[in-house]
Amino acid sequence: MLWTILVLVTACHKPEYVAPTAERQGITSLAAYFAFGPFEGQEMGRLEINDPEADRYVIPIPWYFPETSDDITTPYMTKVRVRASLQANCKIEPALTVLDLTEENHFKYTDATGTTRDIVITGERVKSSKCELISFTLKRPTLSGVIDKASKTISLITANDLSVGEATVTLSAHATISPDPALPHNFNDGFTFTVTADDGVSKAEYLVIKNIPEKIDYGVNAISAEKLFNLDPASGLGLPAYNTKANVSLAVLDSDLIVNMGDGSTPKYFNKVVATYGGTINLGSAVPTGAIASDEQDHLLICNLAEPGEVFNIWKTSSVTKAPELLYSFTNDQDLQLGLEMKVIGNVEGEAVISVTYPGLESVTTSGRFHAIHIVGGEVVSSEVIDLFTATGGVYYWGAGPANSTCIVAGAPTMDAGWYTCVYSENSLRWFKQDLSLGSIIPGEGTGDDDEAPGGGYYVNGNVDPNNLDSKCFNNARYLVLFVSNHFPKWWPGPQLYVFDITNGSLSDRIYNSPQLAFSVPFMYNEQYQTGSNDGFGACADTILAPSADGYMLYIYYYDHFSGMIGGYSLDCIKR
């Protein structure tokens, strides 16, 4: 009898009202995703909603996709997957699925108080309002302008007569410029160009002047950080899909970002600011089965993958159209292959340090060895194998590549600043001094459910590969970049990017909140494209720091092959 009464009372009890968690009620955003085709699953447009009383929502869809291409989005408009972000206790009926955004789609919306109203969801293709002048290069003399985006000023750092100057430019996708910079203009006293966006309405004026912008005294200007692009390598750049075996590596040469898949194919190059395809490099006799890298003065290095007893070669070139020449060659006398990872700091025609990793063998052995090459005056003065495994008494080592190997990067071009490395097995960034004693070690994990990492819990953790590094000098500072690629793209936390100031050598605290952090993007999960299987052979990645030859810009690039993500950021040292 008691049980019957309890059931009846419970059945008559009204559901508890849950108050909205935000200050206002309603739909906060609508996102449109490709429902088919090569970009299936990628976001094609988003509407942020600020009016809580709105009853008609028009999702803006870019005219072209990718934005830098000439491929129009018209064929995809009739089948678009739409998702809504709703406040607590709000709902849309019927449920959102695949919609025809060329039509008006009618729904009933219920807010948190239970009030209902009819709403309409549709879409509209819109042309871009971007009107940036991204790069400016004089033809004679060959000179790249330094662009201050805040003041829209382009400085030409030269004492030459520029009364008859012709230039090439890079603009926002589909924008136009007037007058034509390819025609002769007098830049001695300043010259103004107008950039008009693809929408024909948005405009910006840029002043080109002979000038030397003032720099800050040290390092990068943090407020200058700007995201350049973040793309799916396959659908966005025509690179191999995530499930193909590869060993990706990156380099920057002048205005180009160069991508090598490490499978013997010819490396491709793309505009380093907007990622438009440029072509394939002139390989000459070089064999790109190993890695590529670039120094601080626009020199591209290419190496082969040498098995024990084979000859290891490093080729050098200063142009994507110029055949590389042999820089250095020796026989691999170790019992492990060489060339999977290669890094360089400095100037290979001045002083530089090149470091090349010996990875372990799958299911056979681990490794703690790398090869260090010191260049002075453009000539190799030392070439030696360094063994961290022996130096640490068998404590420090790494496994097979590419996923479980690592990069070893020098702290300076002079061989006296030691080495930086991070491996999957411990997720800690280490600095070894020149004598191979441990200078510092900083972990990448919090304690699980605490608030040490921004937002709480883990950042660098066991689901990722924190083994992609590079180091460069810039504006009186020395920087180290660590890119943490995601070995299991379905799982949190996703790729992470950290740039440290290593001028004083030592690092402290944790990877994600070290006081030496100069720039970071610690949570890139929302930008992932690939969420498929986790076959380990696809888990390769790379990162690179690339100072511009004029000393004003520092570019940062990353490529996570398995997560399907390639992108970049820029910072400068202009005083504002």
User: How, if at all, do strands 221-231 and 379-387 pair?
Assistant: unpaired
Domain extent for 160: 133-210
H or E element at residue 126: strand 116-126
Using only C-alpha atoms, what is the Rg of the chain?
Answer: 27
- The pLDDT of residue 454: 61
Reported as a single tens digit per residue, the pLDDT across 381-406 is 999 999 999 999 999 999 888 888 99
**Separation of alpha carbons 417 and 130, rounded Å:** 44
Beta-carbon count within 10 A of 350 CB? 14
- The pLDDT of residue 321: 96
**Separation of alpha carbons 362 and 360, rounded Å:** 7
- The pLDDT of residue 452: 55
- The pLDDT of residue 315: 98
Sign of the C-alpha dihedral, residues 11, 14, 16, 22? positive
- The pLDDT of residue 563: 86
Q: What is the tally of structural domains in the chain?
A: 3
- Are 408 and 541 within one domain? yes
Model confidence band, residue 6 (pLDDT cutoffs 50, 70, 90): very low
Q: Please report, as a single letter, which amino acid is at residue 330.
A: F
- Are 69 and 113 within one domain? yes
- Are 413 and 511 within one domain? yes
Model confidence band, residue 456 (pLDDT cutoffs 50, 70, 90): low
For residue 59, being part of any structural domain is answered with: yes
Are 377 and 327 in contact by the 8 Å Cβ rule? The answer is no
- The pLDDT of residue 402: 84
For residue 566, being part of any structural domain is answered with: yes
For residue 271, being part of any structural domain is answered with: no
What CATH code is carried by the domain that includes residue 47?
2.60.40
With the CA atoms of 467, 363, 562 and 516 taken in that order, what torsion angle do they form, in degrees rounded to the nearest 10?
-10
- The pLDDT of residue 245: 86
- The pLDDT of residue 14: 34
Mean pLDDT to the nearest integer, 61-67: 93
Model confidence band, residue 208 (pLDDT cutoffs 50, 70, 90): very high
For residue 249, being part of any structural domain is answered with: no
- Are 43 and 148 within one domain? no
- Are 93 and 38 within one domain? yes
Last residue of a domain, one of 210, 229, 250: 210
- Are 431 and 448 within one domain? yes
For residue 349, being part of any structural domain is answered with: yes
Mean pLDDT to the nearest integer, 11-30: 51
Reported as a single tens digit per residue, the pLDDT across 329-356 is 999 999 999 999 999 999 999 999 999 9
What CATH code is carried by the domain that includes residue 142?
2.60.40.2340
477 pLDDT above the threshold of 60: yes
- Are 74 and 176 within one domain? no
Reported as a single tens digit per residue, the pLDDT across 240-266 is 988 888 999 999 998 899 999 998 999
- The pLDDT of residue 40: 87
- Are 92 and 147 within one domain? no
For residue 552, being part of any structural domain is answered with: yes
**Separation of alpha carbons 563 and 540, rounded Å:** 9
Q: Exposed/middle/buried for 463, CB within 10 Å: 0-12, 13-18, 19+?
A: middle
Reported as a single tens digit per residue, the pLDDT across 510-552 is 999 999 999 999 877 655 555 544 444 568 999 999 999 889 9
**Separation of alpha carbons 119 and 96, rounded Å:** 12
**Separation of alpha carbons 31 and 299, rounded Å:** 43
Reported as a single tens digit per residue, the pLDDT across 81-134 is 999 999 888 999 999 999 999 999 999 999 888 999 999 999 999 999 999 999
Beta strand segments in 167-289, E: 167-171, 176-178, 191-196, 203-210, 221-231, 249-253, 256-260, 268-271, 277-280
Mean pLDDT to the nearest integer, 317-333: 97
Q: Please report, as a single letter, which amino acid is at residue 400.
A: A
Higher pLDDT pick, 298 / 449: 298
- Are 379 and 492 within one domain? yes
Residue 412: phi and psi, rounded to 5, are: -165, 165
Q: Closest Cα to residue 367, out of 409, 332, 338? A: 338
Three-state DSSP at 156 gives strand
For residue 154, being part of any structural domain is answered with: yes
Mean pLDDT to the nearest integer, 148-176: 91
For residue 105, being part of any structural domain is answered with: yes
**Separation of alpha carbons 312 and 255, rounded Å:** 29
Higher pLDDT pick, 233 / 363: 233
- Are 177 and 82 within one domain? no
- Are 40 and 141 within one domain? no
pTM: 0.82
Provide the mean pLDDT of the chain: 89
- The pLDDT of residue 12: 37
- The pLDDT of residue 251: 98
Residue 318: phi and psi, rounded to 5, are: -115, 10
1 pLDDT above the threshold of 90: no
Mean pLDDT to the nearest integer, 180-201: 96
Higher pLDDT pick, 243 / 292: 292
- Are 66 and 166 within one domain? no
Mean pLDDT to the nearest integer, 191-216: 95
Reported as a single tens digit per residue, the pLDDT across 277-287 is 999 999 999 99
